[in-house]
Amino acid sequence: MNIREESLSRIASGAGFDVLIVGGGVNGVAVLRELALNGVSALLVDRADFCRGATSASSRMAHGGLRYLENREFKLVAESARERNLLLKYAPHFTLPLEVVVPLSHYLRGMPGSILRFLGLSNRSGPLSAAGLKGALYLYEFLGRVDKVLPPHRTALHRDAFPKSLAARYRAVISYFDARIRNPEAMVMEMIEDAMQVSENVACLNHVRWTHGVDGFTISDSVSGQTVQVRPKLVVNAAGAWVDQVNQALGLKTAYIRPVKGAHVLVRHEELHRRMNNRAFYFDDGTGRMVICYPLDRTILLGTTEIQVATPDDDTIAASETLYLTGALSGLFDDIEITEKNIVAVTTGIRPLQAGGDASVNRANRDHLIAEDRLGSGQPLLSLIGGKWTTFRAFGEQTCDRILQRLSIVRRADTRRRPYPGAVGIAPGQTGRQEFTRRLAGTFHLASERAEILVARYGAVAERVAAFCDAGTDAPMTSLGDFTQREVRWLIEQRAALFLDDLLLRRTQIVLDGRCTEAVVRDFGALLATVRGLDAAWADQEIVRCLAMPTILPRQTVGTEMQGVRHG
């Protein structure tokens, strides 16, 4: 389905929409899917691209939130662990079990501080002890018992059972299991496609402008120039870190959001990649603050910083942040040093934490809530505040329940056990994946390696991609031969990649893989212009813009600041 063309057609029909969702991140899209399945007409709009905010700047994990236990956020941890388990079951094409290795320097030291923090009597960070972590993990696994799919934690107290050359200061290693999301942006696109396929009464547009007045909302497509008036019965503000700014544009003064910047770096180091052996390492940086790193397909993701900022537009990455992260990782193994020369990509985004309270950023509330106001014209306005990637489905479900209540509609569908499109048709386990891959290769006369690449990128949706590629003359991209021209065309046409950063950052994993070069930018930019029917001047302008973005081509940051992509 061509998301954009189909949405513009539905909007032009003049049928109207009961709900307007402002914000195309994971939470807004989760609400759209819930509404579509329950027969509610809805339009989702975003002033930029889908997933351009915190959605694409996360740690790319589905986790229960072990560290939130210290804040006594038991409900959040139980909900997060349940949602993690559901993702492992119903989105296994993208959600993979992840062993998390926690090296510890102390058996008991740090326990008193942990107890004081647990009781709310201290905000000071401190070291993590083996005894404290084991106790927390028993509770963590108990809270995650619903739909349990992961094995229990295990403990090693002797160095011969530790990972090779782990720093000498470590005296114990505890391993537990969470999950990682291989391609969260593609999962969001699957939810959009799912919503639009199950209901003809929903639409979804990126790169639009909107204004609010006495006659409702004027939605203007910045690409086609199409304009439509929308008079929704209810509005959902899912703008993430920009919730308060959107509310201001709607005539309301709110202070719901505490914007906190989070940065990650992607590093390339072959020996470290091998040493990690597909495991995450979650370790104390020496000051009581925890850092996580784990291998992706070709790089290692390392994060995260947490810095409160005055405005959600402040997404610069300071040299101190990258130096902090690489320095922390360099202390993990005795024989491995990571410097900024190993950095191949950076990400940054603003987390929309709940405002209020005087807790430090590290101890701020991570749960989500729905604030309800009224627009001047009387419609309910629901602002989605806080939240984390793992709980997007639950947050969407809770928001939908509120909407159904306000519109006096009875819920008729549940997403809890609804498989994601990329999982439909692939039997569970490695055997099912291999059989699907063989079938794909046979149907479309693909080399086995090519079929494996498509299934890794798209899951069962690979059938649609392969059919599209098979429908015309195809050839490898000059700069990256594992992409073909028609595959990239499919991403542009079917998944609404209108600008070059949409394509490189949020429709592919090229940047995160550390494979984005000037040649790649120029190659993909030229094809984007061709597919969109735009001239060489537009392509050149877009290429120059993206070449200047450090989140696409990172530069040395010592003594400088890196300006991140503006998200929102």
Tens digit of each residue's pLDDT (9 = 90 or more) over 196-231: 999 999 999 999 999 999 889 999 998 989 999 999
Higher pLDDT, 565 or 491: 491
Same domain, 42 and 189: yes
Same-domain status, 249 and 264: no
Within this chain, do residues 469 and 519 fall inside the same structural domain, yes or no? Answer: yes
Question: pLDDT tier at 438 (50, 70, 90 boundaries)?
Answer: very high
User: Is there a single domain that holds both residue 193 and residue 94?
Assistant: no
Task: Convert 499-519 to b/e letters by CB count within 10 Å (16 or more is b).
Answer: bbbbbbbbbbbbbbbbbbeee
HSE value, Cβ hemisphere, 13 Å, CA-based, for 201: 14
Residues 43-83: tens digit of each pLDDT: 999 999 999 999 999 999 999 999 899 888 999 999 999 99
316, 335, 356 - which closes a domain: 356
**Which CATH number belongs to the domain containing residue 229 in this structure?**
3.50.50.60
Domain count, the chain: 3
Q: Domain for residue 126, yes or no?
A: yes
Summarised one tens digit per residue, pLDDT across range 470-529 is: 999 999 999 999 999 999 999 999 999 999 999 999 999 999 999 999 999 999 999 999
For residue 139, is it within any domain? Answer: yes
The whole-angstrom separation of Cα 565 and Cα 554 is 12
Q: Residue 257: is its pLDDT beyond 50?
A: yes
Report the alpha-carbon distance of residue 475 to residue 485 in Å, rounded: 6
Let me know if residue 361 belongs to a domain.
no
Spatial separation of the C-alpha atoms in residues 67 and 430, rounded to whole Å: 31
> What mean pLDDT is predicted for residues 157-161?
94
Q: Is the pLDDT of residue 160 over 50?
A: yes
Q: Using 50, 70 and 90 to split pLDDT, how confident is the model at 121?
A: very low
Q: How confident is the model at residue 112 (pLDDT cuts 50, 70, 90)?
A: low
Nearest to 371 by CA among 534, 250, 549, 525: 250
- Does residue 146 share a domain with residue 233? no
**Whole-angstrom distance, CA of residue 548 vs CA of residue 246:** 29
Are 8 and 45 members of one domain? Answer: yes
Which of the residue ranges 233-242, 285-294, 326-335, 467-476 would you say has the lowest mean pLDDT?
A: 285-294
Average pLDDT over residues 24-31: 98
Residue 375 lies in a domain: yes
User: Are 33 and 106 contained in the same domain?
Assistant: no
**pLDDT of 451:** 98
Between CA 100 and CA 545 the distance in angstroms is 38
- pTM (two decimals): 0.94
Last residue of a domain, one of 343, 374, 406: 406
Give me the pLDDT at residue 333, please.
94
Is the domain of 168 the same as that of 268?
A: yes
Distance, CA of 89 to CA of 449 (rounded, Å) = 26
- Please report which confidence band the pLDDT of residue 377 belongs to, taking 50, 70 and 90 as the band edges: confident
Mean pLDDT of 137-146: 94
> Among residues 356, 382, 416, which one ends one of the domains?
356
28 assigned to some structural domain: yes
Residues β-bridged to residue 175 = 101, 154
Domain identity same for 205 and 147: no
Q: For a pLDDT cut of 90, what percent of the chain falls above it?
A: 82
State the CB neighbour count (10 A cutoff) for residue 274.
Answer: 10
Instruction: Tell me if residue 259 falls in helix, strand or coil.
Output: strand
Phi-psi map region of 371: left, alpha, beta (phi>0 left; psi -120 to 50 alpha): beta
pLDDT tens-digit profile of 311-368? 998 888 888 899 999 999 999 999 999 999 999 999 999 999 999 866 667 667 788 9
Asked if residue 60 lies in contact with residue 513, where contact means CB atoms within 8 angstroms, the answer is: no
pLDDT at 316: 83
* CA 364 to each of CA 58, 158, 351, 384, 385: distance values in angstroms, whole numbers, following the listed order: 17, 36, 11, 17, 13
Average pLDDT of span 74-103: 97
Range of weakest confidence among 131-145, 184-198, 391-405: 131-145
- Model confidence at 167, pLDDT cuts 50, 70, 90, reads very high
Structure confidence by residue, pLDDT tens digits, 181-199: 999 999 999 999 999 999 9
CATH of the domain at 319: 3.30.9.10
Domain that holds residue 376: 3-54+185-256+366-406
Asked whether residue 412 is assigned to any structural domain, the reply reads: no
The pLDDT score that the predictor gives to residue 361 is 73
- Does 494 lie in the same domain as 544? yes
Asked if pLDDT for residue 414 goes beyond 60, the answer is yes
Whether residue 568 has pLDDT greater than 60: no
What pLDDT is stored for residue 560 in this prediction?
Answer: 35
The predicted pLDDT at position 556 comes to 43
Contact 50, 415 (CB under 8 A): no
Question: Domain with 441 in it: what CATH number?
Answer: 1.10.8
The confidence score (pLDDT) of residue 113 equals 63
Question: Does residue 154 belong to any structural domain of this protein?
Answer: yes
Residue 124, pLDDT above cutoff 90:
no
Of 4-18, 90-104, 357-371, minimum mean pLDDT range: 357-371
Residues 205 and 129 both lie in one domain:
no
* pLDDT at residue 563 in the model: 37
pLDDT tier for residue 177 given thresholds of 50, 70 and 90: very high
Give the CA count within 13 Å in the CB-facing half-sphere of 128.
25
Q: Are residues 280 and 209 in the same domain?
A: no
Indicate if the pLDDT at residue 380 is higher than 90.
Answer: yes
**Environment class of 3 (CB within 10 Å of its CB; exposed 0-12, middle 13-18, buried 19+):** buried
- Reported as a pLDDT band with limits 50, 70 and 90, residue 562 is very low
Q: What is the pLDDT of residue 289?
A: 84
Contact 26, 55 (CB under 8 A): yes
Average pLDDT, the chain: 92
Report yes or no on 413 lying in a domain. no
Run of H or E residues at 15:
none
Show the tokens assigned to 364: 């701020």
* CA 551 to mean position of chain CA atoms: 16
pLDDT (0 to 100) of residue 561 = 37
The candidate with the shortest Cα–Cα distance to 1, out of 393, 433, 467, is 467
Contact 144, 85 (CB under 8 A): yes
